[in-house]
Structure 1
Amino acid sequence: MPLISTKGVYGLSAMHELSKYNKDTPMQIKEISKKANIPQNYLEQLLGKLRKAGLVKSIRGAKGGYILALEAKDIYIGDILAVLEDDLKIIDQRSQNPILNLFFEDAKLNIRTFFNVNLSKLDEYQEKYNEFLHYSI
């Protein structure tokens, strides 16, 4: 079982799209779906979880949609994944070997540290991607 499922990848993609969008104007779900290539009905479920967790806000009405509930710099990738994945697990059960249990606990802490970056950090990866496109002639 992978550490991050499709649910986590799709949710992170949606949050990334919202972080790039005008912060004062809600982004409609069909637009998020199209830009992030996520099935709309699945995206609705993910955004519902993210809304309940206080990471996005929904705005009703004809010009409604979704916006980030906080600044991108205040939303951490680990928090997004924790909401959608319930927990970032390396293994589903404890081992009979106490040494392995200690190792897996350390690994889990390292994973949490790795994902303890804010959503705005993805802008750096956008720049790397743009450089890659520019140089891969």
Structure 2
Amino acid sequence: MLIDPSNGDPYDHLELMPSTGRYEAVTDCGEATIEVFRLNRADLERGRKSAFVRIKSMLRDHAQLTEDGRDEEAHEIVASLQDQPFADVLYAMLRFRDSPGASTVLGDPNLPALLDNPVFHFWPEARSA
């Protein structure tokens, strides 16, 4: 009844709201997982919400560094985004990027275009999200 991340995409059962850092259940399995692992504890929500703010800034910095030809520094940002809690928040943002109202959900009209950069698509399913 709990999500098995080795057997499918957890986001088939959960949806992370980046601006709040809160997980919402999509299925009964997602609901059970949120409850058992206490995924919506205040400290975890706060950490994911803060990660969302930092990721937006990092995406803008990456675009500027790339434009300026500062590829090594841009690569450092990409590497940092692969670490938790950035990774799950970034993945949620990637899933929102093509949705209607993505600019509103993400809080910036430029973010969907920045998220289209393949360098941020670490997961096969994110490439087609």
Q: TM-score, normalised by structure 1?
A: 0.28
Q: TM-score, normalised by structure 2?
A: 0.29
